[in-house]
Amino acid sequence: MSTVTVEAPGGATTTAEPLLAVTGFTKRFGEVLANSDVSFDVRPGEVHALIGENGAGKSTLLKLVYGIYRPDSGEMRVAGERVAVGSPTQARALGIGMVFQDLRLVPAFTVTENYALALARTGLTLRHGELRRRIADASESYGLAVDPTALVRHLSIGERQRTEILKVLMTGARIVILDEPTSVLAPSEVDALFAMVNGLKAQGFGVVIVTHKLAEVRAIADRVTVLRGGRVVLGGVDPKPMTDAELVEAMVGQTVAPLPAERPAVVSEAPPALELVGVSALGDRGVTALHDVTLTVEPGEIVGVAGVAGSGQRELCEVAVGARQASAGTVRVSGQELGRGGPTAGIAAGAVDVPEDPVNDAVVPTLTVLEHMALSNLRAFLRRIGVDWRRIGRHTAEINDRVRLRMAPAHRRVADLSGGNIQRVMLSRALGREASLVVAAYPSRGLDIATTRRTQELLLARRADGAGLLVVSEDLDELMSVADRIAVFCAGRLTGVVPAATTNRQELGALMTGAPAPAEPAVAAVAPAAPAAEGPMPEGGEGT
Ligand SMILES: Nc1ncnc2c1ncn2[C@@H]1O[C@H](COP(=O)(O)OP(=O)(O)OP(=O)(O)O)[C@@H](O)[C@H]1O
């Protein structure tokens, strides 16, 4: 492998061997050619972005590098030395650290206990107090707020991810691989993450980052590699001279149309799809996570939900579909009070949901795609003895035709699917069914550009059908382009509800941090706003 010239911290130019270089990796899973003759390298002091559609082979490449899979052919070098990495332990010993999309922390353990586990694997054992101090020091020096005493199951996804990144750094990685790190983060957390990544760059680390957001590629990456169908279509190029359209076309193989600008108001006699009146709810830690929320979603209306991570979004979504009991107030779906009826009452009233964290909350890894299509509404498929699988098969095929999210084949086990492909199953299930209320938490999380656009079209189609939609997203541009109104939360309180067509990032940002609601826009329920003007493709779309 040839050496390359890189800019060293401080601006000096050095000649350096790539920290990591992969040549000709090929990996097949049965009929699927997940990586085909893939070459890729990372230099010291650079960020190399890996992009491509769902199922393009990004995670497979990373797992080959990290020793989770063995390549069928191809070779890998670390700092110029040819290596055969047979396990993650060997990868870590070579200074390769990986932060997975589905974070690998034990929920029942504290942060310190999780770190003790990870460090023990590297042969290092520390007394509990000493380790706690080291975590606090590392947290400080990397600027990543991590509470060593917190129980992991009490942490939000964003907090868990931060914990995981710090863990990888503390176990001695020189090459840090981040698999879609920003897909779970709020905008302010993304800024903090990128500041940290720039810090790592300046110290000569090599960083590989998988993302679906072109804005992030532009913000952080020195080079970009595009995979499509398991092959490299652009290898290690400088993204700066390229347009977004060129990058999208490389990923998707075609251009992606913008969202339709037409947003006719929907006239409906139906009762509100969702009515929350003075609703409070406890979070998992037993403290009030949602305070006295009054909010209405009308039929044919999309209400977006914005807020920094952990502002009550999870509790709001769960309360709205009956999956979490309100501790005070009234929840009505299509005029029916959910009371103590739980999720069954929510489904019976016409609610469907796309959960915040499908992998941990909604997916049974050993079950197939087909079985998941039946799971949320098994009763509908019961026959005299057992379940009518043929009917579920037909129902799934119909949904696939209608929804067109290119769900994985029905016989595939969900455990073998990529994060984006699991999300497609959740979306197809929720958006392919008749419902009066759709509660979608982060619907485009982990989706590639074309699928994000299709998902946004589906949300608008449900709106046009007269459903009410509550859509949570960390991507403000996405909210502003699909929602009629945006409800903003801060620390579990509704700080304002603003028309999406006239708001802006500054106003939303102020409400997200709890600044008083601006004088004009109505707080709480108002009629659906005028159609949003056609704007630039949202980050969750063009840039997703
Ligand atoms: N363990 C496995 N068994 C069978 N097929 C697999 C396995 N892992 C991945 N695949 C398949 O290999 C292909 C590449 O998947 P991979 O997870 O690498 O894609 P990706 O680019 O990371 O996608 P995403 O953006 O959705 O995370 C997909 O068709 C996927 O279903």
What would the pLDDT profile of 118-168 be if each residue is shown by its tens digit?
877 767 777 888 999 999 998 887 777 889 999 998 887 778 888 888 888
Instruction: Establish whether residue 29 lines the binding site of ligand 1, counting it when its CB lies within 6 angstroms of any ligand atom.
Output: yes
Question: Would the pLDDT of 8 be above 60?
Answer: no
Taking the model in full, what pTM does it have?
A: 0.73
Instruction: Establish whether residue 60 lines the binding site of ligand 1, counting it when its CB lies within 6 angstroms of any ligand atom.
Output: yes
Task: Count Cβ atoms below 10 Å from residue 174 Cβ, excluding itself.
Answer: 19
Q: Which has the minimum average pLDDT: 12-26, 293-307, 514-528? A: 514-528
Buried b / exposed e along 266-279 (16+ C-beta atoms within 10 A):
bebebbbbbbbbeb
**pLDDT value for 435:** 93
Q: If you take atom 8 of ligand 1, which residue's CA is the nearest one?
A: 416
Task: Count Cβ atoms below 10 Å from residue 227 Cβ, excluding itself.
Answer: 28
Question: Would the pLDDT of 394 be above 60?
Answer: yes
The count of residues in the chain is: 544
If you average pLDDT over every residue of the chain, what do you get? 85
- Nearest alpha-carbon partner for 292 in 489, 495, 493: 493
Q: How far apart are CA 76 and CA 448, in angstroms?
A: 28
Which helix or strand (DSSP H or E) is residue 217 part of? helix 214-220
What average pLDDT score do residues 422-443 get?
Answer: 92
> Packing angle between helix 449-464 and helix 244-252, nearest 10 degrees?
90
Instruction: Establish whether residue 451 lines the binding site of ligand 1, counting it when its CB lies within 6 angstroms of any ligand atom.
Output: no
C-alpha dihedral (455, 461, 465, 466), degrees to nearest 10:
70
What average pLDDT score do residues 65-86 get?
Answer: 96
Instruction: Establish whether residue 183 lines the binding site of ligand 1, counting it when its CB lies within 6 angstroms of any ligand atom.
Output: no
Expressed in angstroms and rounded, the spacing between residue 542 Cα and the centre of ligand 1 is: 22
What are 259-313's pLDDT values in tens digits?
A: 877 788 898 899 999 999 999 999 988 899 999 999 999 999 999 999 987 889 9
Residue bearing tokens 């990796």 = 25
Instruction: Establish whether residue 32 lines the binding site of ligand 1, counting it when its CB lies within 6 angstroms of any ligand atom.
Output: yes
What average pLDDT score do residues 347-358 get?
Answer: 90
Paired tokens of 233? 């279509």
Nearest ligand 1 atom to alpha carbon 420: 26
What are 74-83's pLDDT values in tens digits?
A: 999 999 999 9
Instruction: Establish whether residue 419 lines the binding site of ligand 1, counting it when its CB lies within 6 angstroms of any ligand atom.
Output: yes
Nearest ligand 1 atom to alpha carbon 421: 26
Task: Count Cβ atoms below 10 Å from residue 347 Cβ, excluding itself.
Answer: 21
Expressed in angstroms and rounded, the spacing between residue 130 Cα and the centre of ligand 1 is: 40
C-beta of residue 342 within 8 angstroms of C-beta of residue 387: no
CA–chain centroid gap for 202, Å, is: 27
Give every strand in the sheet of 20-29, ordered side by side.
Answer: 32-42, 20-29, 73-78, 81-83
What distance separates the 2 farthest-apart alpha carbons in the chain? 76
One-letter-per-residue 3-state SS of 230-277: CEEEEEEECCCCCCHHHHHHHHHCCCCCCCCCCCCCCCCCCCCCEEEE
Task: Note the ipTM here.
Answer: 0.98
**pLDDT value for 516:** 55
**pLDDT value for 7:** 46
The pair phi, psi for residue 276, each rounded to 5°, is -110, 125
What are 478-501's pLDDT values in tens digits?
A: 899 999 999 999 999 999 999 999
What are 203-213's pLDDT values in tens digits?
A: 889 999 999 88
What average pLDDT score do residues 59-67 get?
Answer: 95
C-beta of residue 494 within 8 angstroms of C-beta of residue 295: yes
What structural domains and CATH numbers belong to the chain? 256-350+435-544 (3.40.50.300), 363-433 (no CATH)
Q: If you take atom 12 of ligand 1, which residue's CA is the nearest one?
A: 34
Which helix or strand (DSSP H or E) is residue 293 part of? strand 288-297
Expressed in angstroms and rounded, the spacing between residue 421 Cα and the centre of ligand 1 is: 8
Instruction: Establish whether residue 148 lines the binding site of ligand 1, counting it when its CB lies within 6 angstroms of any ligand atom.
Output: no
Instruction: Establish whether residue 35 lines the binding site of ligand 1, counting it when its CB lies within 6 angstroms of any ligand atom.
Output: no
Instruction: Establish whether residue 58 lines the binding site of ligand 1, counting it when its CB lies within 6 angstroms of any ligand atom.
Output: yes
